[in-house]
Amino acid sequence: MPIALIIAFLAAVVAALIVLVSRLFEHARRGALALSQLGAIVESSEDAIVGKDLDGNITSWNRAAERLFGYAASEAIGRRITIIIPPDRLDEEARLIEQVRAGERVPPFETVRARKDGSLVSLSVSLSPIRGQSGRIIGASKIARDITERLRAERGLTFLAVVSATLSSSLDYEQTLDRAVHLALPQLGDYCSVFVQDEQGVLRHAACGHVVREKEPVVRELIARLVEDPAASRGVASLASVIIKTGQRMVVSHDDLLRRAAEVRSLDPALVELGERLKPWAYLGTPLVAHGRVIGAISFGTTETESRREYTAADADLADEFARRVSLAVENARLFRRADELNRLKDEFLATLSHELRTPLGAILGWTRLLQTGHLTPDRVEGAVQAIERSAQAQSKIVEDILDLARGTAGNLRLDMKPIDLAVVAQRGVEAIAPAAEAKQIRIEVCPSPPVPIVGDAARLQQVMWNLLSNAVKFTPAGGTITVQAGRTDGAAEIRVADSGMGIAPEFLPYVFDKFRQADASSTRRHGGLGLGLAIVRHLVELHGGSVDAESAGKGHGATIVVRLPAGRPGPRDA
């Protein structure tokens, strides 16, 4: 063969080899690039991706796995996969390996795995077989996603649905609060307590609970001691009051709770002993709000002996929603109780009204019949006419009070505002009531006062004085004293009517100005009346832009009614 042909053939072979090698290098480069990209994807994944062989040895461990389980890749690779399997889940892992050996892909399922620190985490896990070049299965790839937040949200929604259904099933106030604290456990803590604030602003402890019922007396006694001990309010006891005052939730970590507890440790050994029995760990409190008004606070706590956990932002959000639903249930129970109370008061008022109208009417009819007989002597005829007139006046006063109340409710009560002297109004009120006071041998003392100029309706303020003084005369025994004082205090005009009478019980004091309210509403009560006088006083005083308060040290210690009116020139106000 000619040498030229041989050289040409060899050149063609070399060229072909060069093209082939180039293609092989290009394929290798692309394969390496693909592997590099795949590795980058695995490393940047938010899900934990773990490779293992069929014997359960870990062969790969991405960064998400490091974050999720707490093991660095250098710690995990080469170790058994059982380092993240809880002991009670080992059988589960064995079943999964058998499915992988059979070439099956395991679709996502929910399970629990263990972290390096021993804590458990809820996961959604799927497995896929890994095949070698020959197609033989050599291992498994596991993808794990943390579903803790999702499960917490689902449990929270289920929990709140149960809360709404349970709380709405009762309109009993105390029962609603008791149900609320026990519904909160253990979802929101190991123990729970509720403080409520009534319409007069008085705060009281209303309910408490513990996941271990036998420990509830400890919680109750601890809270009672903290509430009663003013010195202890610098520590834990102040938390509920701060929440109510600010209307903001409060989360206290374990370390901060220890610091607060240390502040009261030296104050009361019994308090310390109760705290050691309860072993509080962390605290979460949130306000109870109804119609934009804070009506109380609900507090949750974890303990060292039960859950030993800190509160998270998710816990606080769930507590807020729980408190909102409890507030709604509590307000509904309050409204129901108020409606029930109003119905009771209405029935009592109608019974009292019937009695009060029947008494003077009976006197009028009795004396009228006697007059019709014509057998009365002239002096007895005069007495009969006077008795009829007194009874008619009593009936007229009852009707006028009812009309005043109706006008106020309907907004038809108008004031004729003019410059007047409040001291003169007080003096005229004393003069009007003097005969009734003398009949009971009650002394009325009027403290000297300079003029107290205000702008008001003289007739209506005269009615205020009449109601206050007649009330004082009614409840002051014979030989008692009534003191009337007009003047100025803190820039406001003021009238004080104080008596040495039977006084007002502490539990009735907040309701003394409510319409239809009487401390004794029984048919055998010693003192008559409809219970409207002080309600009308409050309404008239408030129409003048003022306020009225009642003070009493209790039964048998007399009472003082204080009327305050603006000293400036308020514009006329209608009911």
| pLDDT for residue 105 is more than 60 | yes
- Least confident residue range of 187-191, 265-269, 497-501: 265-269
Cβ-based neighbours of 228, under 8 Å, separated by 6 or more: none
Q: 549 vs 406, which has greater pLDDT?
A: 549
Which has the higher per-residue pLDDT, 325 or 573? 325
Per-residue model confidence (pLDDT) at position 1: 54
Write out pLDDT tens, residues 521-548.
Answer: 444 344 445 557 788 888 888 888 899 9
Contacts of 475 (CB under 8 A, 6+ apart): 499, 501, 502, 527, 559
Q: How many CB atoms lie within 10 A of CB 493?
A: 24
Q: Is 44's pLDDT higher than 70?
A: no
Largest CA distance in the chain: 177
Q: Which fold has domain 400-566?
A: Heat Shock Protein 90 (3.30.565)
Confidence check: pLDDT of 280 > 90: no
What DSSP string describes 163-186? HHHHHTT---HHHHHHHHHHHSTT
In terms of DSSP bridges, do strands 203-210 and 547-551 run parallel, antiparallel, or are they unpaired? unpaired
**pLDDT classification of 570: cutoffs 50, 70, 90:** very low
Residue 232, both tokens: 């202890």
Determine the pLDDT at residue 242. 84
* Angular region, 326: left φ>0, alpha ψ -120 to 50, beta rest: alpha
DSSP 404-446: HHHHHHHT--B---EEEEHHHHHHHHHHHHHHHHHHTT-EEEE
Mean pLDDT for all residues in the chain: 79
Per residue in 406-456, pLDDT tens?
666 556 667 788 899 998 988 888 888 888 888 889 999 988 888 889 998
Over residues 314-320, mean pLDDT: 89
- Whole-number pLDDT of residue 72: 92
Which CATH number applies to 152-335: 3.30.450.40, 3.20.20.70, 1.10.30.50, 2.30.30.100?
Answer: 3.30.450.40
What's the pLDDT tens digit per position in 110-119?
999 999 988 8
Give the range with max mean pLDDT: 37-41, 282-286, 564-568. Answer: 282-286
Looking up tokens 């009337």, which residue turns up? 484
Of 203, 293, 275, nearest to 241 by C-alpha is 203
Question: What share of the chain has pLDDT > 70, as a percent?
Answer: 78
* Predicted pLDDT at 484: 92
Task: Delimit the domains of the chain by residue range.
Answer: 42-146, 152-335, 400-566
For residue 26, pLDDT over 70 is answered with no
CATH superfamily of 42-146: PAS domain (3.30.450.20)
- 400-566 and 152-335 share a CATH fold: no
Peptide bond into 217 cis (omega under 30): no
